A and B are shown apart, each in its own frame.
Chain A
Amino acid sequence: MIDFQKTEEQELLLESLREVYKRGDFEDYFKECDKNHVFPEKAADAMVEAGFAKLGIPEKYGGTDCDFTTLIFVAEEAYALGWPSLCWVNQALQVDDIMAFGSEEQCRTILDLGLKGIKPFTLGFTEPQAGSDSSAMAAKVERRDGKVIINGHKTFNTAANRSPYMLCLAREQKNENPYKDFSMFLLPMNLPGVQIEPLDKIGNWMMQTCEVYMKDCEIKESDLVGVAGQGFYQLMKNFEVERLVACAANVGMARCAYDEAVRYAGVREQFGKTIGTFQLIQEKIVDMKIKIENMQNIVYKAAWKKSTGQSIMIDSSLVKRYTGQAAFQVIDDAMQIMGGIGYTNDCRISRLWRDQRVYRIMAGTEEVMVHTAGRALIKEALKK
């Protein structure tokens, strides 16, 4: 009844992924890109050419049908090999967001970008005063003289400098309940009035995160995605699955750090023997491994529940909170095993350590996960 065996097709797909990675010999290139704060274009192109952008985009639109459990395995494996955080080429979930609510023209535009592995849009959600409290979003849409005008200030916009669009949530100012007042727009980032300013971050240097100012940006009524006032609920459609895929990055990055640190422990000699013979190092390795197993189990189980039609409302919060913290602990222990070398930018673990930290903050902080799951768990208990 519990079966952890990947299908032969999934195994072969992961073998292909490893083959592309091996053929590309990307490690030094990633180091260079990280140092120069640029996106790893060449590596991304190789993955797109090998078909990894098409996965999960429906066949009839030029993609390759693929269930999201497989998408999770692929993302996890890519990060486990050392793929840079936030830079994976598969945009199937963003494409699906638009396919669900977008017009025919919007779908065509976003599909075309997704098939090329280009992140179609930066998510225009967070604002300086609206972090965990999304109801405080203040960007607004106004209709004047037959024109649709957006004003607002968004922040922590991943890939704002690379994505052609922002999926912008703005208030209609018609309903006092903010959640029923947001509309969703596909806002072209090259519009006059859009100003993009990169944030100076401690990690994730290969993918920019920006502030975006929108001053009297004139869009068209046809840029509305779905139904006016329904923007927030539309955004929630793939929310849980998107959260699981982000958590696959946690598992992958933790595996990447673990693999390197364990190999090092097996060969690094101090006091005339390998450091792996010291029990304090062994303890770290064992606890790291337990956390990786736990992370995989909780992610895979949630994926299985979702694919069998069960609710993962609570699960997705548990997974997000647990994998963010556990991955950080694994990577931190990996750095400790490496010693001083692990703290240098020459060692990949330092990049993982800088990059993964934000997964405890972005897309719902680990504290908000307590808020969402905690209440639901008590409610569930009272129902029994």
Chain B
Amino acid sequence: MKVIACCKIVPEEQDIIVRADRTLDTGKAVLKLGQYDLPAIEEAVRAAEHTSGRAALLCAGTAVIDNSKLVKAALSRGADELFLVTDEALAAADASQTAAVLAAAVQKIGFDLVICGEGSSDIYAQQVGAQLGERLNVNVFNAVGRIRLSGDSIIIERVLEQEVEVLEVPLPAVVSVTTDINLPRIPQLKDIMAAGKKPVTRWGFGDLGVAVRSPLEIISTLAPESQERKHIIVEGDGDDKIDIFWQQIQKEL
């Protein structure tokens, strides 16, 4: 089976500085693999291992993502190869643009199954997986908590509010997986050493024949206004206490 995991390089949250005007300064932030993408990578690697197939990683962004440590960090988690799509236009790409670029890339790579994380670690719009499936015109599901392989199809479990939905999905397909689908492996030294020797394919928009134009315009991205803590403590578990607790919450809503 040919499996592709999509992953995004994001700034380390702890390094992001909120300026006085609430705008964000990511200039000093170290770049890392998105936290939500790690289960996607792990699931892709497992699927490839179980089917003696091949797991590829696909990552799109500006030129900064083509960094040898980031490349090794990604490939040390078990995938066989990495495809990097870079273009400065991706600096402020929204979900639609990202999905368009990824769609062109996965078509060029060829795939049976594409696995995305549940959302990106920075924007977390949870849109790219669904839009990617739509653009590819294949089956697409989000909130997937389990994947079982079954010949030309996969059996997925989606944990919904009232029930667990079990679906048999013919391939090819695109799925977005939840963070509890697996516990991603932690790379060992031999994985890290091997990562540096795995193939990396670098593409620009020209190689993919894509040009992105966004229907959206981002006017501003601001951190929430910080608020003073209320310092209201309700102790006890009697009905009267719960009432007070509820009233306090209602007041704020």
Contacts and interface: CB of A to CB of B under 8 A. Distances in A.
B189 A51 contact: yes
B69 A13 contact: no
Contacts of A38: none
Contacts of A12: 69, 72-73, 76, 187, 192
Residue from B68, B186, B189, B196 with most neighbouring chain A CB atoms (10 Å) = B189
B188 A16 contact: yes
A317 to B, nearest CB: 31
A50 B72 contact: no
A6 to B, nearest CB: 11
A337 B187 CA distance: 37
A55 B69 contact: no
A11 B32 CA distance: 13
A9 B196 contact: yes
B186 A9 contact: no
Nearest to B190: A64
A9 B68 CA distance: 10
Nearest to A11: B69
A50 B193 contact: no
A347 B69 CA distance: 36
Given A13-B192, A16-B192, A8 B69 contact: yes
A9 B71 CA distance: 11
Nearest to A46: B186
Contacts of A64: 188-190
Contacts of B69: 8, 11-12
A12 B68 CA distance: 11
Interface in A96-126: none
A16 B193 CA distance: 13
Residue from A13, A19, A50, A70 with most neighbouring chain B CB atoms (10 Å) = A13
Main secondary structure of the interface of A (DSSP, over half): helix
Contacts of A55: 189
B187 A20 contact: no
A66 interface: yes
A23 interface: yes
Q: Contact size class for A?
A: 10 to 19
B168 to A, nearest CB: 33
Contacts of A50: 186, 188
B213 to A, nearest CB: 36
Contacts of B188: 16, 50-51, 54, 64
A16 B72 contact: no
A271 B223 CA distance: 33
Interface string A47-90: 00011001100010000101000100000000000000000000
Contacts of B190: 51, 59, 64
Contacts of B192: 9, 12-13, 16
Interface string B154-196: 0000000000000000000000000000000011111011001
Contacts of A54: 188-189
A66 B193 CA distance: 10
Contacts of B76: 12
Contacts of A13: 189, 192
A47 to B, nearest CB: 11
Nearest to A56: B189
A165 B188 CA distance: 29
Contacts of A16: 186-188, 192
Given A8-B68, A12-B73, A23 B189 contact: no
A66 B72 contact: no
Nearest 4 A/B pairs, CB to CB: A51-B188, A8-B69, A12-B192, A64-B189
Given A9-B72, A51-B189, A54-B189, 11 more contacts: A8-B69, A12-B192, A15-B73, A16-B186, A19-B186, A23-B186, A51-B190, A54-B188, A59-B190, A64-B190, A70-B189
17 contacts: A8-B68, A9-B72, A9-B189, A9-B192, A9-B196, A11-B69, A12-B73, A12-B192, A13-B192, A15-B73, A16-B192, A20-B186, A50-B186, A51-B190, A55-B189, A64-B190, A70-B189
